[in-house]
Amino acid sequence: MHTLAFYNTENFFEAHNDISTATDKKWTARRYAEKLDNISYVISKIGEAATNKHPSIVGLAEIENQTVLQNLVDSKHLKGCQYKYLYFPSKDERGINIALLYDRSVFEIESSKPYAVELKDKFGTPEYTRDILLVSGVLEGVKIHLIVNHWPSKRENDIGTEYKRLAASDKVSEIISSLKTKNLKANIIVMGDFNDNPTSKSVKRLVNEFKLRNPFETLRTYSRGSTNNNRQWHLFDQVMLTESFFEPKKNSLQFKIANIFDADFLKNSEGKHKGIPNRTFKGTTYHGGYSDHFPVYIVLKKQVV
């Protein structure tokens, strides 16, 4: 069995000698080392209860650069996992990007390509956000296509930012349409932090247009999600799949489970924020936690009979 996960790592910048322009907070070598240890440990544990091993593939958000990724794969928690990474810098205004970790012993990449999401503000000035990453490869003899996302952020006034996520949704639609033109039965997995819930228009129209399955629709409750804002749970982090993963065919990859990796060690243990993600910073105060998001994951199993 294989775990495929997605994790928004919350402003994962390497250590610099000055104040990061992206976070405007003092970021020291010691704090970076602590963050690196925390994130690598989390990744090593995602889906372990179901598969007894580390994830085969992990989509990542809020990664600064390749140095962070190299430090991750070299870390004590991941150095035995045979991870390699894919990374393409984008023009994102915050200087954070998406990336992909993959166990090279089980997943062989055939092609990869970033897609820019073209945005303009109300004055017609270009705005820049994270690219969308398409990775095609072979997992246990089965060709799959991964579309990794980190869509533009939601603000208090959702009307003012929704068009950005709809633009990202349009770009994903273009990518899926292109893949399906070549193979109507293509095995496609769309993962990411969509900054929208499963019921939001930007997500639902992808599900409806391409008959995707979104197993995370049933996981969000009033007391559970992947991120928490003003004491309200959201499930912005999701994984969607084409119907092909649910059809019992020989030598196919079959969907088994989906879940939020919200282990107790990832949560605040006391106070008014008890039970929500223990993050690295709260405002300008350093907490030394993990991230403001919980990872999410699915488990696939090879169908041989």
pLDDT at site 305: 66
State which residues form the domain around 295.
2-303
CA atoms within 13 A on the CB side of 262: 23
Question: Are β-strands 57-63 and 237-241 bridged in parallel, bridged antiparallel, or unpaired?
Answer: unpaired
Spatial separation of the C-alpha atoms in residues 68 and 63, rounded to whole Å: 7
H-only helix segments in 105-248: 162-182, 201-210
State residue 22's pLDDT score: 45
Which DSSP helix (H) or strand (E) runs through 145? strand 142-150
Residue 244: DSSP 8-state = G
Residue 296 pairs with which residues in a beta bridge?
A: 6, 260
Closest CA to 293 of 9, 74, 98, 48: 9
| CATH number of the domain residue 112 falls in | 3.60.10.10
What are the backbone dihedrals phi and psi of residue 214, each rounded to the nearest 5 degrees, phi first? -120, 90
What pLDDT is stored for residue 158 in this prediction?
Answer: 66
Tens of pLDDT, residue by residue over 187-244, are 999 999 999 999 999 999 999 999 999 999 999 888 899 999 888 999 999 999 999 9
Residues of the chain with pLDDT under 50: 17-22
**Predicted pLDDT at 25:** 57
Q: Single out the residue of 133, 149, 144, 58 nearest to residue 101, CA to CA.
A: 58
CB-based contact 188:176 (threshold 8 Å): yes
- List Cβ neighbours of 203 (8 Å cut-off, separation of 6 or more): 169, 194, 196, 197, 214, 238, 240
Task: Tell me how far apart the alpha carbons of residues 86 and 69 are, in angstroms, rounded to a whole number.
Answer: 9
Query: In sequence order, what are the residues at sequence separation of 6 or more whose Cβ sits closer than 8 angstroms to the Cβ of residue 18?
Result: none
Q: What is the pLDDT of residue 19?
A: 46
| Longest CA–CA separation in the chain, Å | 58
**pTM for the complete prediction?**
0.93
Q: Which tens digits make up the pLDDT trace of 96-120?
A: 999 999 999 999 999 999 999 988 7
Instruction: With beta carbons less than 8 A apart as the criterion, state whether 128 and 164 touch.
Output: no
Rounded-to-integer distance, Cα 3 and Cα 74, Å? 20
**In angstroms, how far is CA 6 from the centroid of its own chain?**
3
Domain total of the chain: 1
